[in-house]
Structure 1
Amino acid sequence: MASTTKEVLTDLSPIIKVYTDGTVERLFGSPHVPPSPEDPTTGVSSKDTIISPTVSARLYLPKLTHPTQKLPILVYYHGGGFCVESAFSFFDHRFMNLLSAESVALVVSVEYRLAPEHPLPAAYEDSWDALKWVCSHVLDQTHFEKDQWITNHADFNRVFIGGDSAGGNIVHNIAMRAGSESLPGNVKILGAILSHPYFWGSNPIGNEPKEDIEQHTVYRLWLFVYPSAPGGIDSPLINPLADGAPSLAGLGCSKIIVCLSEKDLLTARGLVYAEKVKKSGWKGEVQVVEIDGEDHCFHLFDPQTEKAKNLIKRLASFISH
């Protein structure tokens, strides 16, 4: 009898597995949940929208104090190593409701295409397109139907981008692109939130593994999601500190907050990144938050702990001040 066991082509447990027949098994993530007209915990309303044939988003509108209130707008990119999770997943939906309420900001949480079906740079292109779509709402004439929440409530002098893990990596790369390419209506990004950003490279920093580094999941994951990356693991897209990477002085925003956790393997590199930005000649303001005793993106998995609540408050004050 023929064996029905499928052969594994790529095993990146506990994140994702790909089989020789092309099947993709996503091992990590939370179930998709619908948007809600009014979240019972926060009072935030949410709805889904289609931006383009490849990009959609979930929008979050906090409780308004008056009907024409203008709010900061946050374009957010979820984490998941470019290959798992979703803007529509339970973890992200819960976190966006809390952040929108605390910061009183209109949030656009972007659903970009995932690897391996859509290897990078697909997610970068989708993320840039989503930001352009948001900014296009300032123009009088557009080739699409404008979203009323954005038209009525977005303050385009207070545009933020944010993301966690792979989403934090996207934020860095979007900010770099915004430094050299103008956005519709010449909108400027005020601030960028890099939460536990996914950066890596061939030269270990801090507590990163020193032996067999090519076998480490964090290393293998990048080559899995972007097999054709120019420079491999030292592509400036994953390693902004690499030799020959564009100067960090080119970041196209006015302030940055980098959030890191003590036990996270990505923290040492995140700290060096923040230092390099400060020393690059970039004219903006850099804030660094390091949370003791916590691990990678802890606030998404349990936002009710004191430390998670404090981090959400800190992010909210970054957006509202």
Structure 2
Amino acid sequence: MAAPTDSPATTNEPYVVEDCRGLLKVMSDGSIIRSADPLVVLTFPDDGSVESKDLLFNSTHSLYVRLYRPVKTPPNTKLPILFFFHGGGFCLGSRTWPNNHALCRRLSAELSALVLSFDYRLAPEHRLPAAIEDAEAALLWLKSQCTGPDTDPWLAESGDFTKVFISGESAGGNMTHHMAVKFGPTGLSPVQIRGVILIMPALFEKELTRSELECPKTAFLTPEACARYSKLALPVGATREYPALNPFGPESPNLENVDMGPILVIAAERDILIDSNLNYVDRLKKMGKKVELVQIAGEEHAFFSIKPLSEATGEAIQAIGRFMNQTGAGSD
């Protein structure tokens, strides 16, 4: 029987060689097709309690940050500043996705915080360490807002630059780790980083962990998906020991004497990355780091942003609130 006319063997038309949830397709000719659709196509209710706006923070790469502020913020009240870096395997995601937008509204309302949700360059068009470089640029932008003459009015009116927290989910949690290593509590002075929050961080080890090996095929994030994202995000030829992915690899910085400040790790019980998250916490504790672990029962990877209005996400937000208060956001 003759091969179908649309078979890659019988046509010069490009065909899909990598497909990330239908939102990103890499073609056989090297071209890339991105969908404008978000991962979660839902409408989330907005009670009007939080206002938001977009600002350009990196003109070189046309990157934007979305600011969130509780509407009923009393005059002359300074709010803690919470960074948030979205997830997506370094390949997907946007501050504009409805689920991320709803999540940041909730964070701002329930934490009484000025939330800053940053975009960053995505792979494979921009492979690592591009995303980490953009996170660094985001923090330096905040420092310029603190010290420069053109501070955004919301930050000037409502932002407390002495009470800044860095957070991120999945790939964003990975980026948060690297910001803690890069800047620590005082590396952005006069901005003060009071703590970092890693939510199901995408941090890997040389060998597959037990939770990776035993991950069910029906999981939200599978080993195959992890391998696909890594292949697209890492520099060509890099492995799981690449420093951006493996914080304890042979080419990664020695963290023994690095002041990372207080750290909160939020892990999900049924996450493929649960073992690597627990190992991360254990190794940092053995180094004497101030690390707190919160496990959310029954949840899978990325529940925090995929289900922004869920009870599980609410539980995680409560843990974040306690952490922020304990590390100084609740007192001068």
**Is the shorter-chain TM-score for this pair beyond 0.5, marking a shared fold?**
yes
Q: Greater CA radius of gyration, 1 or 2? A: 2
For 1:178-257, list aligned pairs within 5 A.
178-179=183-184, 182-183=187-188, 185-209=189-213, 216-228=224-236, 232-257=239-264
1:24 aligns with 2:33: yes
CA contact (8 A) 1:72 1:155 kept: yes
Q: Distance in 2 between matches of 1:108 and 1:158?
A: 13
Whether the aligned pair in 1 keeps the contact of 2:56 and 2:64 (CA below 8 Å) is yes
Compared with structure 1, are the counterparts of its residues 244 and 210 closer, same or farther at alpha carbon in structure 2 (3 Å cutoff)? farther
1:83–1:225 Cα contact (<8 Å) kept: yes
The 3 A distance-change label for structure 1 pair 90 and 65 is: closer
Report how far residue 290 of structure 1 moved: 0.7
Matched, 1:166 2:171: yes
Q: CA deviation at 1:232?
A: 2.4
1:233 is displaced (CA, Å) by: 1.2
Aligned to 1:272: 279
Q: Identity of paired residues, percent?
A: 34
Separation (CA, whole Å) in 1 of partners of 2:192 and 2:260: 7
CA distance in 2, matches of 1:102, 1:65: 13
Q: 2:267 aligns with which of 251, 260, 265?
A: 260
1:129 to 134, 137, 140: 137
Q: 2 CA distance for matches of 1:251 and 1:103?
A: 29
1:154 to partner: Cα distance: 1.4
**Alpha-carbon distance change, 153 to 82 in structure 1, aligned in 2, over 3 angstroms:** same
Structure 1 gap segments, 5+ residues each: 34-38
Q: Deviations over 1:73-97 (max 9, x none)?
A: 0111000111111011101000000
* C-alpha displacement of 1:5: 5.5
Larger mean Cα displacement after TM superposition, 157-166 or 58-67: 58-67
Among residues 283, 288, 291, which one is paired with 1:281 in the alignment? 288
For residue 81 of structure 1, what is the amino acid of its counterpart?
G
Quote the residue 2:101 is aligned against.
93
Q: CA 1:250/1:169 → structure 2, altered by over 3 Å: closer, same or farther?
A: farther
Indicate how the Cα distance of structure 1 residues 63 and 318 shifts in structure 2: closer, same or farther if over 3 A, else same: farther
User: Which residue number corresponds to residue 219 of structure 2?
Assistant: none
| CA deviations over 1:252-298 (Å, ceiling 9, x no partner) | 5421110111111001000110111111133xx21111111110121
Judged with a 3 Å threshold, the aligned counterparts in structure 2 of structure 1 residues 71 and 181 are, in CA distance, closer, same or farther, namely closer
Aligned twin of 1:306: 311
The answer (yes or no) to whether the contact 2:86–2:95 under 8 Å persists in 1 is yes
Per-residue CA shift, 1:166-220, capped at 9, x if unaligned?
000000011111149932x442311111001001233122322289xxx833134
Question: Structure 1 residue 129: deviation in Å?
Answer: 0.7
Rounded Cα–Cα distance in structure 1 between residues aligned with 2:94 and 2:244: 21
What is the CA distance between 1:126 and its match in structure 2?
1.1
The letter for the 2-side match of 1:44 is: V
Residue 245 of structure 1 deviates from its aligned partner by 2.6
Number of matched residues? Answer: 306
Q: Could you tell me which amino acid in structure 2 is paired with residue 209 of structure 1?
A: L
Structure 2 residue identity aligned to 1:314: A
Q: Runs of 5+ in structure 2 lacking a partner?
A: 216-222, 327-332
* TM-score (ref. length: structure 1): 0.86
Cα distance in 2 between the residues matched to 1:90 and 1:42 = 15
**CA shift in 2, pair 1:300/1:75, >3 Å:** same
1:72 alignment partner, one of 80, 90, 97: 80
Match of 2:116 among 108, 111, 117: 108
Query: Are residues 180 and 223 of structure 1, via their aligned partners in 2, closer, same or farther at CA, if it must alter by over 3 Å?
Result: farther
Counterpart CA distance in 2 for 1:94 and 1:5 is: 40
AA in 2 matched with 1:45: E
Name the TM-score, length of structure 2 as normaliser.
Answer: 0.83
Aligned residues of 1:42 and 1:97 also touching (Cα < 8 A): no
> Cα gap change, 1:302/1:42 in structure 2, threshold over 3 Å: closer, same or farther?
farther
- Asked if 1:83 corresponds to 2:91, the answer is yes
Match of 2:156 in 1: 151
- CA deviation after TM superposition for structure 1 residue 131, in Å: 1.0
Whether 2:53 is the aligned partner of 1:47: answer yes
Deviation at 1:4, TM superposition (A): 8.4
CA contact (8 A) 2:270 2:301 kept: yes
The match for 1:36 is none
